[in-house]
Amino acid sequence: MEKNIVLLPGDGIGPEIIDAATEVLSVIGTKFGHTFTFDSQAIGGSAIDLYDTPLPDQTVSACKQADAILLGAVGGPKWDNNPSHLRPERGLLGIRKALDLYANLRPVKGFKKLLSASPLKEEVIKGSDLLIVRELTGGLYFGTPSERRDNGNAVVDTLSYSRYEMERIIDKGFQSAQLRSKKLTSVDKANVLESSKLWREIVEEKKATYPDVEVEHLLVDAAAMKLITNPSQFDVIVTENMFGDILSDEASVLTGSLGMLPSASLAENGVGLYEPAHGSAPDIAGLGIANPIATLLSAALMLRYSFSFEEEAALIEEAIEACIDKGYYTADLQVQSGKKINTEEMTEAIIAYIEQK
Ligand code: NAD
């Protein structure tokens, strides 16, 4: 099959990890008889440098015509003091909104060999395998523009959600749970926030549509605590934008490094955008030592969710696990033993496994 993939390498280590992903995807294409066409477009700080905007119109229209989008990361100190409309992150928020990528899925699964790389005790994280379903286009990050009042000494940020926006992400949470262990944890702050009260009402209403799913409600503060004290109790967590943002970064410690966490952002019937959960890691950009695995796992999610290429996706995941089992690791992973390798060597090892399968 032919698939047109738009690449948004972005900033920092973005281009390095996207290169790794295109190499692996090309090998998958050859092996399974697919033709992947890659169309690289600008976003973030590098787009600001080239076009004076973090999200050029050309990028948006290429993404709208793509079969799927693979993004590296945006941001870096070079643009930290820019005015807010010229911040790299605006590009990311803008593309999510432009494509209505309302559902962010982050699977968090520890690799056995890397359990010791987590700052948490091995016996605590053993058996953890969860999926965070986060609302991505509403809530505090998209409220009416923030306001400074009282000569800049008071601020107003707005948290607003429509019933429709809540219903579709809650449905996605239930549907994701149906495909896994059928347990859904809904995270909110219903003891304080009106938005969370409506959220909880909707979750209760939806139970009747998904009778096979067991549902629990957790306040976000308790959820944050339980994620690191008893992570294996979770299967699918569904939550709004900001809570999901914070909880999914917290959950990354279960995998040993941010460099291991993929994500998928999906529209209702449209295109999907896939990206690692980490940022642009400016501290190691250009050194060739970035861990490409989060991006490669994101590429696998792309094959699975956007193209329904399950076998191809599973082979990438198997190859990654096999390389980690062989003891290969990149510098971000605090493992006790094995062979430390760089981005290119890790990519080559994964490709070698795929080719000999
Ligand atoms: P970061 O995730 O970029 O880096 C945090 C730490 O993890 C750094 O020490 C970095 O070297 C390391 N790290 C991250 N990914 C790695 C990988 N693949 N391999 C090896 N090490 C890795 O977070 P930060 O330092 O807080 O932010 C840096 C920039 O990235 C900022 O400009 C921030 O706004 C931006 N950011 C972008 C995204 C995104 O594009 N989705 C997400 C978060 C942060």
Tell whether ligand 1 has an atom less than 6 A from the beta carbon of residue 173.
Answer: no
Domain assignment of residue 2, yes or no? yes
Identify the residue whose C-alpha is closest to ligand 1 atom 27. 279
Q: pLDDT category, 311, cuts 50, 70, 90?
A: very high
In the listed set 254, 287, 319, which residue is the last one of a domain according to the structure? 254
Please, are residues 236 and 133 in contact by the beta-carbon 8 Å criterion?
Answer: yes
* One domain for residues 310 and 345: yes
- Encoded tokens for 295: 């991006």
* Ligand 1 pocket check for 104: Cβ under 6 Å: no
Distance CA 326, CA 324 (A): 5
CATH code, domain with 224? 3.40.718.10
Q: Which protein residue's CA is at the shortest distance from atom 6 of ligand 1?
A: 281
- Tell me the whole-structure pTM to 2 decimals: 0.91
Total domains, the chain: 2
106 domain residue, yes or no: no
Domain holding 204, by residue range, is 119-254
189-233, pLDDT tens digit by residue? 999 999 999 999 999 999 999 999 999 999 999 999 999 999 999
Same domain, 216 and 293: no
Torsion of CA 21, 253, 116, 235, to 10 degrees: -90
What are the tens digits of pLDDT across the range 42-96? 999 999 999 999 999 999 999 999 999 999 999 999 999 999 889 999 999 999 9
What atom in ligand 1 is closest to the CA of residue 283? 11
| The CA-based dihedral angle spanning residues 60, 22, 328, 121, taken in that order and rounded to the nearest 10 degrees | 20
Q: Please identify every residue annotated as catalytic.
A: 141, 189, 221, 245, 249
CA 291 / ligand 1 centre spacing (Å): 11
Does residue 279 line the site of ligand 1, with CB under 6 A?
A: yes
Q: How far is the C-alpha of 54 from the C-alpha of 90, rounded, in Å?
A: 6
Nearest CA to ligand 1 atom 1: 279
Asked if residue 109 belongs to a domain, the reply is no
Residue that finishes a domain, picked among 219, 254, 289: 254
C-alpha 199 – ligand 1 centre gap (Å)? 31
Residues 54 and 127 both lie in one domain: no
Kindly state if the Cβ of 240 falls inside 6 Å of ligand 1. Answer: no
| 133/226 same-domain check | yes
Q: Is residue 223 part of a domain?
A: yes
Q: Which of 254, 277, 292 is the last residue of a domain?
A: 254
